[in-house]
Amino acid sequence: MGSGSEQNSRRGCGFWIVRALLAIVVLIVGVLALGYGYEALAESNDSRAYPPPGQLFDVGGYRLHISCMGEGSPTVILDALQPGTVSNWVWIQPEIARSTRVCAYDRAGLGWSDVGPEPRDAQQNTRELETLLQNAGIEGPYVLVGHSLGGLYARVFAGQHPDEVQGMVLIDSSHPDGWQREGIPEGVGMNKDQLAMGPIAARFGMLRVMSFFPIDADLPAQQQAELKAFYATPKFAEISRQVDLAFPSILAQGREVTTLGDIPLVVVTRGDVDAAAVESHALARELQIELSQLSSNSDYRVVYGATHTSLVNNPDHAQPVITAIHDVLESIRSGTSLTID
């Protein structure tokens, strides 16, 4: 009798353990299903609340987004930082549109553009931009304006299209040797494990809870909301992962462009007002000066008190960038060298 009682007891424990494990599995599946549905509904609501400000054009089975305003030549092309969108150019684009045509676009996987094929390197981006400009009917010549990694993409595009690119403005642009010389890992600056898990987590709405990427309060409320909606999506997580994987190739392709000839080039960079910070950022300043040496007709300008992002996102710090673009346009139109401040 005692032995049978113990056996029943063991069977009873096993029964309840199985029941508990099943309950946990059902709970997890339910939470995931709820998160998946929540993400799908949120994305649907965001797509209605924040329609693309520009137009979408097919570039080979997927679409890229470009938003243009103004009239005149040359056309200014705005290429944002990673992971920026056309929303980041809200202070700069309308001012440039007063004197020429200016187009901001979203690289594949950013903003309103579809995710494109891998690898997401600079050569792939150049091919896509070529096709986008052609299909959108945006003819050259061009002035390229690149912020951060967008500056490196602009460098590669200009190297392949020297007859179409007449000028350039680099805004705290990425230097292809910067990561190595500063002794930091090459990549988008995010944890590798988080990048790998990000697309999965995003599909279940987790990025909307985590606020994975900060929104710059210097932007208007509309643009803040647009960026917040994008940074919560699986697309944001996926393009971040893809660009990080392609980073060594992106830098190598940037190194291949060693000169821009004598086109007007202005390098605008942030500058610290604190003496200790100025000393610690001496290498960063050196790298930006080297970028200005890509052209024999160039100028190097420092915006003191600005940060890497505020050069575009802050209305006051963006003013020197606007001036730099106008100076490049004037140099092209007048056929004279840049006016040095």
User: 9, 30, 49 — which closes off a domain?
Assistant: 49
At 36 the pLDDT is: 55
Do 247 and 324 have their domain in common? yes
Nearest to 212, CA basis, from 183, 239, 185: 239
Q: In the chain, how many domains are there?
A: 2
What are the residues facing 302 on neighbouring strands? 269
CATH number of the domain encompassing residue 169: 3.40.50.1820
User: 34, 49, 64 — which closes off a domain?
Assistant: 49
Do 138 and 15 have their domain in common? no
Residue pLDDT, tens place only, 281-318: 788 899 999 999 999 999 999 999 999 999 999 999 99
Question: Do the domain assignments include residue 217?
Answer: yes
Q: Is the pLDDT of residue 80 over 90?
A: yes
Question: Do the domain assignments include residue 339?
Answer: no
Do 104 and 134 have their domain in common? yes
- Indicate left, alpha or beta for 183 from its phi (over 0: left) and psi (-120 to 50: alpha): left
Q: How many CB atoms lie within 10 A of CB 68?
A: 20
User: 12, 31, 49 — which closes off a domain?
Assistant: 49
Question: Do the domain assignments include residue 341?
Answer: no
Do 161 and 118 have their domain in common? yes
Do 201 and 223 have their domain in common? yes
Nearest to 103, CA basis, from 80, 131, 126: 80
At 81 the pLDDT is: 97
The answer for residues whose C-beta is within 8 angstroms of residue 272's C-beta and 6 or more apart is 278, 281, 304, 305
Q: Is the pLDDT of residue 204 over 90?
A: no
Give the least confident one: 187-201, 203-217, 259-273: 203-217
Render 250-284 in DSSP notation, one character per residue: HHHHHHT----TT--EEEEEEE-SSHHHHHHTHHH
Question: Do the domain assignments include residue 340?
Answer: no
Rounded-to-5 percentages of helix, strand, coil across the chain: 50, 15, 35
Do 37 and 159 have their domain in common? no
Do 104 and 200 have their domain in common? yes
Give the whole-angstrom CA distance, residue 305 versus residue 311: 10
At 206 the pLDDT is: 77
Domain range for 6 is 1-49
118-142 mean pLDDT: 97
Give the least confident one: 107-116, 277-286, 332-341: 277-286
Q: Is the peptide bond before 74 cis (omega within 30 degrees of 0)?
A: yes
Residue pLDDT, tens place only, 13-52: 766 676 666 666 655 555 555 555 656 676 788 889 999 9
Do 124 and 32 have their domain in common? no
Do 45 and 114 have their domain in common? no
Do 195 and 318 have their domain in common? yes
Residue pLDDT, tens place only, 237-252: 999 999 999 999 999 9
- Tell me the three state secondary structure of residue 147: strand
Do 64 and 41 have their domain in common? no
At 1 the pLDDT is: 46
